[in-house]
Amino acid sequence: MHDFKVYSQSGNLFREGEIGEILAPLVNKGVITGVEDRLTLPTQIKAEGVNGSVIAPGLLVGIDESRGVSQIDKLHFTGGDWGNYDTGSTIDYAVLDHTFAENNGIPNSSIIELPGGKKIEVSGTGLTPQHFIPINDSGLGFGGVFAIVYMPLNKVQFLQNQEGKTSESLITISNPENRENLKTELTLILQQSFPNYGIGIEEKKEDRVYKLLYEGAGADQKFYHVIGIAILLGAVFAAFNLTVRVVQSQRREIGIGMAMGASLLSLAARPIILGLNISIFGTIFGILVGKLINGTMRTVLMQELPLPIWLTPFEPKYFLWVGIGGFLAPIIATLVPVIYGLNIQPIDAIRTGHLAPIRKGLSPLLSRLPLPGNTFWQIPFRNLLRTPRRTFLTLLGIAGVIGVMTSVLGMVDSFSLTLDKATSESSIKGSQRIEVIFDKFQAVDSPIFTYLKDSEAVTEIQPVIQFAGTASNIEHKKSGDEISILTTVIDFQNTMWRPTLVSGKYPKEHNEILISSAAAKSLGATSGDQVLVNHPIVTVQGTPSFLKSQFTISGIHPHPFRAYSYVASSQAKESGMDGLAGGVWIKTDQSADWDKIQTDLYTIAGVSSVQESGINDRAMKEELKGQMNILKIVQFVVLFLALLIAFNTASINMDDRAREHATFMAFGLPVSKIMLMSIIESATLGLLASIAGLGIGFLLLDYFINTVFASALPEIGMYLSVSTTTYVNTIVLGVFAVGIAPVFAIRKLTRTNIPSTLRVLE
């Protein structure tokens, strides 16, 4: 990938090869290893997909395909090629972005139409590092609704009437360690050569796609680390509980051994070997299951991110430290009760029957509560309180994994709420706005506005100007706090649509701005604070330029997309754009045919883009569906683990209470009632674990939303939400999964040998 991208912030074009000529001394010194010119211009395409006609905005990217393998940010073909220009055919070919083509079902050899009626054949699909995730001016990636069209550089220059022109140059350097000094030198050289261009130099680490991929990967790693640790802790508590109870069941045998003079080491050997077996086989099984889950997640990720190369080697360092933790936990859990058991008197360990110490725990507390039902219905609750430590450990193990499940379900809820708010905020009382963008500024009294006003399908129009810029907080500016914004100039007195206010007021004067809640959070600002905004102006000579001005935040709106900001129409006058519009928002009759309106508008000269206002919101929702597949894998794993812990607990409970159950059966109590008591006990434990898990899950969710995702995807202000459905599902699943566990041990209960179980040798 390139190390630097040189471009004009004011939108000026360069002469092809001009940047390379200016930087030739640095190239000759070997400081710069490559300079490649490209022409990237906004466009809109019309194509036929599997679901009908597709009209979408995008970028037309001209690449010097003659460079072949030496291309900077080389185009990787996922299908087809550049097309055959050697036959003398007048047909032009284009390579379509892989994600856009796949999402809309546009095959090779399809015909796409550019503004002006120019038809081009799709000769292939591909990806480049620079546009691996198609990103529009809002700073968000929309693969299904934003098209990247690659063509040879000379073809794009000809189609756009820009012969010999380029919009940007990609640069590679020999020494990445000297990046900052070289950037300063490049800035001085190019600003002197192009004083009115507003030269911008973007490092690789500042590239939006690069940041989204690498910061996203870092956030994903944090997410999986926390999830993994939470699951591991739940498993450790379960393993600790298991080994403690197994050793306690051998307590009498240990006492007899001590009474007969056996050495402490020989007595400790058996339970320790048991702990070692659990550790060894558990670790091996865990690694195998981990590799299986890795393979499943790899398949999902490959579908969502079609990278040219996927390297997924076995990661010993991650498996090693997790394996060590999983290996040591059962051994430690075994040593604790063994050491305790070897330090008591043999007679205390051997005592059974009426001489044995009775473990009441917290069960006497139950006698103070007026519980309904007879003794049998109170036994499940007494059993839980009789061994509070055991109950607490089991509860922690189950609550840990249920907490993970709650946080995962909560993320789905949070994503859904965030995007629902975005869609609701973009709409006009339930109906969509149509956003029309022009290829250049149009006067508000131009024929296109007359045409729209006279159209029967159009009920209201709202002229707008949109521009991409940046904003930073003046009050406490720090490194890296500058954010990208997409600012819209609108008339707030127009009743067709305006953003909702969370706080403050709408802008009235120039140099007042309305920003999103997410932007306010990123800037550490609120209503009334000052921000520095980089915005376009038209100079007295009529040339476009960019200027940094101090703006006052008049208010804050709730749209979750950070980039969206708004200024009053008076700003256009101050910026030299009075009476002009870069686009128009349209409200149509609800009975109007959207496809026909879009097609009609697309054919109008000067229109570069036509789309529904909420299409980006819906596209982001579709993009997040892929992430939901990964979360479903996590949900399945934790639910299965909760069931295993519950089954293990129920099985040991059956063994511990074998004499108690045999006594019940000896007095004629049916097996069904004994099983029902066990189910009630387990279900109660599941209910308590679910409630605790909800608390743990909410804490995890808060960390994921406000820390992990806030740093990885700051362009979206996530709303934290746990729906009522999630609360109910978590409790129901927790109670059901844990409550049903004793049923799997019914075979052991029905085969109880009553005389043998009740026989005690004094």
73-87, 272-286, 354-368, 452-466: which has the minimum mean pLDDT?
354-368
Q: How do residues 234-248 score in pLDDT, each as one tens digit? A: 777 777 777 777 777
Mean predicted lDDT score pLDDT of the chain: 81
Residues paired with residue 165 on neighbouring β-strands, in sequence order: 15
3-state secondary structure of 156: helix
Asked if 43 and 97 count as a contact pair (C-beta separation under 8 A), the reply is no
Instruction: Tell me which H or E stretch contains 648.
Output: helix 615-656
3-state secondary structure of 124: strand
Residue range 393-408: average pLDDT? 83
Inform me whether the pLDDT recorded for 427 exceeds 90: no
pTM to 2 decimal places: 0.71
Amino acid identity of residue 419, one-letter, is L
d(CA 108, CA 98) in angstroms, rounded, equals 11
Inform me whether the pLDDT recorded for 259 exceeds 60: yes
pLDDT band at 355 (very low <50, low <70, confident <90, very high): very low
d(CA 271, CA 340) in angstroms, rounded, equals 13
3-state secondary structure of 119: strand
Instruction: Please give the angle made by the CA atoms of 225, 231 and 233, to the nearest 5 degrees.
Output: 100
187-191, 334-338, 460-464: which has the minimum mean pLDDT?
334-338
Residue range 336-350: average pLDDT? 76
Q: How do residues 595-649 score in pLDDT, each as one tens digit? A: 777 777 777 777 777 877 777 666 666 666 666 667 777 777 777 777 777 787 7
pLDDT at 255: 80
Amino acid identity of residue 193, one-letter, is S
pLDDT at 551: 92
Q: How do residues 119-140 score in pLDDT, each as one tens digit? A: 899 999 998 888 887 776 665 6
d(CA 152, CA 92) in angstroms, rounded, equals 10
Residue partners of 257: CB distance under 8 A and separation at least 6: 266, 267
Q: In the chain, what percentage of residues exceed pLDDT 90?
A: 10
Give 529-544 as a DSSP string.
-EEEEEEEEE-TTS-E
pLDDT at 137: 64
Q: For tokens 């309305």, name the residue.
A: 514
Q: Of 229 and 448, which is predicted with more confidence?
A: 448
Max Cα separation, the chain? Answer: 109
Q: Of 268 and 249, which is predicted with more confidence?
A: 268
Q: How do residues 693-746 score in pLDDT, each as one tens digit? A: 899 989 989 988 888 877 777 788 888 888 888 888 888 888 888 888 888 888
Amino acid identity of residue 590, one-letter, is Q
Inform me whether the pLDDT recorded for 308 exceeds 50: yes
pLDDT at 470: 87
d(CA 63, CA 150) in angstroms, rounded, equals 7
Q: In the chain, what percentage of residues exceed pLDDT 70?
A: 88
What does the radius of gyration of the chain's CA atoms come to, in whole angstroms?
A: 34
Residue range 212-240: average pLDDT? 74
**Residue 688: what are its φ and ψ, rounded to 5°?**
-65, -40
Amino acid identity of residue 554, one-letter, is S
pLDDT at 386: 78
Q: CB count, 10 Å around CB of 698?
A: 16
Q: How do residues 265-295 score in pLDDT, each as one tens digit? A: 888 888 888 888 888 888 888 778 777 877 7
d(CA 160, CA 183) in angstroms, rounded, equals 31
Q: For tokens 């973007």, name the residue.
A: 202
- DSSP state letter for 74: P
pLDDT at 510: 86
95-109, 337-351, 414-428, 488-502: which has the minimum mean pLDDT?
337-351
Q: For tokens 């050793």, name the residue.
A: 247
Q: How far is CA 511 from the centre of its chain?
A: 35
d(CA 141, CA 210) in angstroms, rounded, equals 12
Residue range 147-155: average pLDDT? 90
77-91, 267-281, 355-369: which has the minimum mean pLDDT?
355-369
> Residue 238 is encoded by which pair of tokens?
């379960």
**Residue 40: what are its φ and ψ, rounded to 5°?**
-120, 120
Instruction: Please give the angle made by the CA atoms of 518, 510 and 606, to the nearest 5 degrees.
Output: 80
d(CA 78, CA 394) in angstroms, rounded, equals 51
Amino acid identity of residue 644, one-letter, is L
Cα 134 to Cα 59, 140, 159, 270: the distances in Å are: 9, 8, 22, 62
d(CA 505, CA 370) in angstroms, rounded, equals 58
Which stretches of 528-615 are assigned E, i.e. beta strand? 530-538, 544-557, 564-568, 580-588, 607-612
- DSSP state letter for 500: P
3-state secondary structure of 356: coil
pLDDT at 38: 92
pLDDT at 479: 42
Inform me whether the pLDDT recorded for 404 exceeds 80: yes
Of 671, 677, 647, 642, nearest in space to 740 by CA: 647
Inform me whether the pLDDT recorded for 554 exceeds 90: yes
pLDDT band at 653 (very low <50, low <70, confident <90, very high): confident
pLDDT at 242: 72
Q: Of 540 and 202, which is predicted with more confidence?
A: 202
